[in-house]
Amino acid sequence: MGKPTGFLDYERVDSEAVKPKNRIKNFNEFHTPLTIEEQRQQAARCMDCGVPFCQSGKVLKGMVSGCPLNNLIPEWNDLLYSGNLQRAYNRLAKTSNFPEFTSRVCPALCEAACTCGLNGSPVTTKENEKTIIENAFEQGYVAPNPPKVRTGKKVAVIGSGPSGLATADLLNKRGHKVTVYERADRVGGLLRYGIPNMKLEKHIIDRRIDIMKADGIEFVTNANVGENPRASKILKDYDAVVLCCGAANPRDIKAPGRDAQGIYFAVDYLTSVTKSLLDSNFADKKYIDAKGKKVVVIGGGDTGNDCVGTSIRLGCASVVQLEMMPKLPDTRAENNPWPQWPRVCKTDYGQEEAIAVFGKDPRLYQTTVKEFIKDKNGKLCKVKCVKLESKKDEKTGRMMMAEVAGSEFELEADLVLIAAGFLGCQKYVSDAFGVTLNARTNVDTAPGKHATNVDKVFTAGDMHRGQSLVVWAIREGRDAAKEVDEYLMGYTNLQ
């Protein structure tokens, strides 16, 4: 380890965020990174502990602790501390295809499992990772390196989200000829249109795609595989196909008045805003506008928070975020010890901005919508809400959230954004390829495998495991690539 007493000598220091009232004036990323020297000092805090839970990726009490990619975190923290940033990048790239994505959008499972966090503040692993990868791009360490030998095998990857890109990257490195099909007008899938620009500026994606193209990967956009081109043609033209189409079915709210004008799924809202931003900096007006509107976001997760932050940037008159579950504790409960993932209340950037602009936290806990109320023209004007409480279901014995009698109340609303999660893959794709789905409407495979019931068709990412994190999508793509390589070649040397 670089500095044995580093965790005692230095306090945790994070990159500085632009103040909420200033950052909401644009859609840019809003953290000012530390200098490399300052980040080296933060890397010195890594203890190189005997059991590095940060890189374990183990399931503890139903949730993952540590990095699902098994990043070699103590190693590259030590290399960063010692100033050997090129070797630090080499170690990071061993396990992670796209550190520039995860260092921006990952919730940092590694830091939650850091031993330093047991009795203090965890190491700034996520920002250390960002320093390493951004320096690598700046110094030219991340550069095209097309394979010197091609295998003659052709692979189609359907979907260009993080799992599709990871699959394509590894299979191309192995020497297979890879073509990635994307139904949208730009490559990136969830990264492009599901994550707002202020969390991941899109030139970061373009920078990586340019390298992948130079490495020999072909990208085809505006290709809605299953319809045009047809699945039969893809199966005929390629030696293997990997379905990485995501869990794109949004969960709906089945309440009276659902047909009111002014109700949208969060994914449609975020997509429209980002596309208009990229196409014309909003000049085309082809986006769902929240300006001057009373916004209600249904869903308390990351996507709901993104809707809050986006609505504020567009100039909403007010914003309320409904969360069905109770507020989590501010500190770890006794039954949630380290190194488990901490089930604690987190105030994210969108909520911080709502507090700064409107003077209060936008979240209403244990609350859901019971009815959407329309005006005489069929436009949304209010939502009727109801409070919830946890009760045991007498039939199943399971705890569930039930309505509290007499707790109804109304909120004024011009715009409702449903961010209640996703329910598996879109069926027209699975039907086109003839792959079977499981009870959760994800593509069915044997446990721990990615091969489907159809010969030479594989799957990865959210389409396979259900709605999850970008880091898990990358891990899925890497694992699927190894399985495809073994199918094509009889063995694999991918790691």
Residue with tokens 């990772």: 129
Choose one of 397, 418, 439: the last residue of a domain: 418
Residue with tokens 């990967």: 217
What stretch of H or E contains 292?
Answer: none
Dump pLDDT digits (tens) for 58-70: 999 988 999 999 9
Which residues form the domain of 356? 263-418
Q: Are strands 31-32 and 16-17 parallel, antiparallel or unpaired?
A: antiparallel
For residues 152 and 462, what is the distance between their CA atoms, to the nearest angstrom? 29
Q: What angle do CA 470, 56, 39 make, to 5 degrees?
A: 70
Residues 410 and 274 in one domain: yes
Q: How many domains does the chain have?
A: 3
Q: Which stretches within 51-112 are classed as H helix?
A: 73-81, 85-95, 99-105, 109-112
Choose one of 376, 392, 418: the last residue of a domain: 418
Q: Quick check: bond before 339 cis, omega within 30? A: yes
282 found inside a domain: yes
For residue 212, what is the domain's CATH number?
A: 3.50.50.60
Q: Quick check: bond before 33 cis, omega within 30? A: no
Residues 221 and 236 in one domain: yes
258 found inside a domain: no
Name the token pair of 388: 């919830």
What is the side-by-side strand order in the sheet with 240-243? 218-220, 177-181, 154-158, 240-243, 457-459
Residues 270 and 403 in one domain: yes
145 found inside a domain: no
Residue with tokens 């899938």: 189
Residue with tokens 């890497």: 478
For residues 80 and 470, what is the distance between their CA atoms, to the nearest angstrom? 24
Residues 243 and 166 in one domain: yes
Which of these, 436, 441, 450, 439, lies nearest to 422 by C-alpha position? 441
Provide the whole-model pTM: 0.96
Distances (CA, A) of 464 to 286, 343, 475: 32, 25, 12
For residue 95, what is the domain's CATH number?
A: 1.10.1060.10
For residue 16, list its beta bridge partners: 32
Q: HEC states along 319-347?
A: EEEEECCCCCCCCCCCCCCCCCCCCCCCC
Q: Are strands 263-265 and 415-418 parallel, antiparallel or unpaired?
A: parallel
pLDDT value of position 2 = 66
361 found inside a domain: yes
Residues 242 and 337 in one domain: no
Are 34 and 42 contacting, i.e. CB atoms less than 8 angstroms apart? Answer: yes
12 found inside a domain: yes
For residues 52 and 444, what is the distance between their CA atoms, to the nearest angstrom? 33
Residues 284 and 400 in one domain: yes
Residues 162 and 239 in one domain: yes
23 found inside a domain: yes
Which of these, 66, 167, 45, lies nearest to 112 by C-alpha position? 66
Residues 271 and 379 in one domain: yes
pLDDT value of position 396 = 83
Q: Are strands 380-392 and 415-418 parallel, antiparallel or unpaired?
A: unpaired
Contacts of 171 (CB under 8 A, 6+ apart): 155, 157, 178, 481, 484, 485
Are 169 and 97 contacting, i.e. CB atoms less than 8 angstroms apart? Answer: yes
Residue type, 145: N
Choose one of 367, 402, 418: the last residue of a domain: 418
Which of these, 196, 206, 184, lies nearest to 269 by C-alpha position? 196
148 found inside a domain: no
For residue 403, list its beta bridge partners: 388
Q: Are strands 380-392 and 367-374 parallel, antiparallel or unpaired?
A: antiparallel
Are 208 and 100 contacting, i.e. CB atoms less than 8 angstroms apart? Answer: yes
Task: Tell me 117's DSSP state.
Answer: G
Could you read off the pLDDT tens digit of each residue along the chain, which spans 495 residues? 668 899 999 999 999 999 999 999 999 999 999 999 999 999 999 988 888 999 999 999 988 999 999 999 999 999 999 999 999 999 999 999 999 999 999 999 999 999 999 889 999 999 999 999 999 999 999 999 999 999 999 999 999 999 999 999 999 999 999 999 999 999 999 999 999 999 999 999 999 999 999 999 999 999 999 889 999 999 999 999 999 999 989 999 999 999 999 999 999 999 999 999 999 999 999 999 999 999 999 999 999 999 999 999 999 999 999 999 999 999 999 999 999 999 999 999 999 999 999 999 999 999 999 999 999 999 999 999 999 999 888 888 888 999 999 999 999 999 999 999 998 899 999 999 999 999 999 999 999 999 999 999 999 999 999 999 999 999 999 999 999 999 999 999 998
Helix (H, G, I), strand (E, B) or coil at 8: helix
495 found inside a domain: no
Residues 290 and 410 in one domain: yes
Residues 25 and 111 in one domain: yes
Contacts of 292 (CB under 8 A, 6+ apart): 315, 316, 317
Residue with tokens 């300006």: 291
User: What Rg, from alpha-carbon coordinates, does the chain have?
Assistant: 23
Residues 412 and 440 in one domain: no
Residue with tokens 């000092």: 41
Contacts of 162 (CB under 8 A, 6+ apart): 98, 101, 189, 190, 191, 461, 470, 473, 474, 477
For residues 101 and 470, what is the distance between their CA atoms, to the nearest angstrom? 8
For residues 66 and 54, what is the distance between their CA atoms, to the nearest angstrom? 4
Residue with tokens 């031993």: 115
What stretch of H or E contains 358?
Answer: helix 349-358
Task: Tell me 259's DSSP state.
Answer: T
Are 116 and 47 contacting, i.e. CB atoms less than 8 angstroms apart? Answer: yes
Residues 206 and 268 in one domain: no
